[in-house]
Amino acid sequence: MPYIVHIKRLATSTVRTRVENSEWRVDSRLWTHGSRACDCARALLFAQDEEAAICACGISDYAIRVASADGTELYCEDAFEPIDEELLACDGEGEAEMIAGSPMGEGLGAFARQTLDRLAVQISQYRRAGRTAS
């Protein structure tokens, strides 16, 4: 069953949509841990017409939300959603802190896991290419 990928450029909040003809359960790892998890690939998929798709490898410039053809959400990266200011409290000295037990706090844990997973993929790809860190 086809699925829809909404790709958001985080710097501009611009969202573009792609329809994929395979099944999400087959492609999900490609988008979350594989080649389409990297900003350089997402920049290519985001670009339209004659737009330049120059983007360094990384995981901080684009985020995705995936939905089935009937609109049911299948996957959403935390960075796709704007930060809900109500979930932040000010400690009186200008420092924002998380409200304990908030859904955003749980989302940050998921975001951290996802970021570390994607970083691990990039490191393993870097090592397979025969490069070493300096």
Q: Is residue 133 part of a domain?
A: no
Q: Is residue 89 part of a domain?
A: yes
Q: Is residue 134 part of a domain?
A: no
pLDDT tens profile 84-99: 444 444 444 444 343 4
Q: Is residue 37 part of a domain?
A: yes
Q: Is residue 110 part of a domain?
A: yes
Average pLDDT over the chain, rounded to an integer = 74
* Closest to 79 in 3D by CA, of 120, 107, 113, 48: 107
Residue 99 confidence (pLDDT): 40
> What is the C-alpha to C-alpha distance for residues 92 and 127, in angstroms, rounded to an integer?
46
Residue 11 has pLDDT above 70, yes or no: yes
What percent of the chain clears pLDDT 90, i.e. is strictly above it? 32
- Contact, 5 vs 76, CB < 8 A? no
- Contact, 24 vs 3, CB < 8 A? yes
Number of structural domains (the chain) is 1
The domain in which residue 40 lies consists of 3-128
Comparing 32 with 120, the larger pLDDT belongs to 32
pLDDT interval class at 117 (50, 70, 90)? low
Q: Is residue 51 part of a domain?
A: yes
- Confidence (pTM): 0.60
